[in-house]
Amino acid sequence: MPFTRRPLLGMIAAAAAAFTLGACQGGGGYTPTNGDIAIGAEDAPVTVVEYFSVTCHACEQFHANVFPTIKEQFIDSGRVRWVYRELLTPPRPIALAGFQIARCGQATPEQYSARIAVMFELQNALLSDAQAGGAAAVRERLSSIGLQSGLSQAQIDACIADPGGAERARGVDEQAQADEVTGTPTLIVNGRALREAGQYSVEGLSALLEESAGGAS
């Protein structure tokens, strides 16, 4: 799918005007980027890079129906290191602001992952806010997510306006093109992109990760 700009919303405008620098090497080797956030053991035999967006419905479905099982069986057990790579999808300004809040306050990887989960739980409400109330409603919803996670309003405002988010987003756009990413979510397992729909099911992905891990426990 093409990744296109959308009109910028309120104070998000400056941050969303530019778009993050990334690199994923083949095989088991993985080169982290400035923007990637990872959970799981650093020495895990399998590294999964996930291109995703908090405004992507398919990503929300994946994180609701597949990711919890994968996390429990593979990430928490130390066999898979899961790398979040943020690729903005329409409405891009909302996606960018959501990612900025997920990172805000020097969030740990675990805090980031928990905030992303909340973003997906509230995705429909957030996008409905955008349709019905525009920038003000979106900002209020995003602020409530940040406040409930322990951030102050001043932190939230500063994080949304931080131009560093736009720099990350620009580089991820470029890296996504290099990795031939055509939609989200896209998973890259030990350097190999998964292109088949069946590989994104619990059964399909579990089987692939078992094989890639070589029975490690």
> For the residues of 29-78, what is the DSSP string, one character each?
-----SS-EEES-TT-SEEEEEEE-TT-HHHHHHHHHTHHHHIIIIITTT
Quick check: 133 pLDDT over 70?
yes
Number of neighbours of residue 77 by Cβ within 10 angstroms:
15
pLDDT recorded at residue 214: 83
Q: What is the pTM of this model?
A: 0.84
Quick check: 14 pLDDT over 80?
no
Percent of residues, the chain, with pLDDT higher than 90: 76
Q: Which helix (H) or strand (E) holds 98?
A: helix 92-103
The arithmetic mean of pLDDT across residues 38-55, rounded, is 96
pLDDT recorded at residue 34: 66
Burial 49-65 (b: 16+ CB within 10 A, else e): bbbbbbbbeebbebbee
What does each C-alpha distance from 19 to 83, 129, 150, 174 come to in angstroms?
19, 24, 28, 9
> Token pair for residue 166?
């736009």
Q: Which domains does the chain possess?
A: 10-194 (3.40.30.10)
Banded pLDDT at 22 (limits 50, 70, 90): very low
pLDDT recorded at residue 25: 35
